[in-house]
Amino acid sequence: MLYTRKGDNGTTKTFGCDQRISKSSTIAEALGTLDEINSFLGICKVKSSPDISEIVNNVQQNLFTVQAELAGADKKLSAEKVKEIEQIVDGIEKELPPIKTFFVSGGTELAATFDFARTLARRAERRVVGVHEEGKVKIGVDTLAYLNRLSSLLYALARLMNHKSGIKEAAPTYK
């Protein structure tokens, strides 16, 4: 059954917890925002080449682990996951010209899509940090580091999509 009616009063429950929480709580907000970035990454994945699609799929799998950790499951991202994302970003950066300014989002549709995903990832990171700061759920240091690196990965992928298409990045004019 796709509906239970149990949340009709504005509450939900997290993994392994019998207590219901408000759907407007920081935990529910963080979980929803992680779900949002994960779902949007599905769009990025289906529009990408197989090698990029595999990277995105791995990120999606890792985000499920983050959601499980946030919901109270005995799941955590490892330092190895952080290193993996750093290696991918480092490899992409070797292909790109150095960053000298901010860039206006756009270029190719896929670049703009990855750039939008970056903003969703940043929001998810802020929500998870908020829960962590409240102290209601302990979030692992590697999870926090992974979420911080995720926006860097998505920015690198946006830049890479434009670079591979021969699109020059446009700096803001500040006019």
Q: Write out the H or E segment, with its range, that includes residue 99.
A: none
Sign of the Cα pseudo-torsion (122, 59, 92, 48, in order): negative
β partners of residue 12? 21
pLDDT given at position 118: 97
pLDDT in tens, 99-111: 888 888 889 999 9
pLDDT given at position 25: 73
Q: Which domain holds residue 128?
A: 22-164
Q: Is 124 domain-assigned?
A: yes
Q: Is 6 domain-assigned?
A: no
Q: Is 114 domain-assigned?
A: yes
Check residue 16 and give left, alpha or beta (phi > 0: left; psi -120 to 50: alpha): left
Q: What angle, 0 to 180 degrees and rounded to 10, lies between the N-to-C axes of helices 109-134 and 26-47?
A: 160
pLDDT given at position 104: 84
pLDDT given at position 15: 62
β partners of residue 103? none
Q: Is 117 domain-assigned?
A: yes
The CATH number covering residue 41 comes to 1.20.1200.10
pLDDT given at position 6: 56
Q: Is 75 domain-assigned?
A: yes
Q: Is 170 domain-assigned?
A: no
Report residue 86 as tokens: 């750093």
Q: Is 157 domain-assigned?
A: yes
pLDDT in tens, 29-48: 899 999 999 999 999 999 99
Per-residue pLDDT tens listing for the chain (175 residues)? 776 665 555 655 666 566 666 555 788 889 999 999 999 999 999 999 999 999 999 999 999 999 999 988 899 999 999 999 999 999 999 999 888 888 888 899 999 999 999 999 999 999 999 999 998 888 999 999 999 999 999 999 999 999 999 998 888 888 9
Q: What is the pTM of this model?
A: 0.89
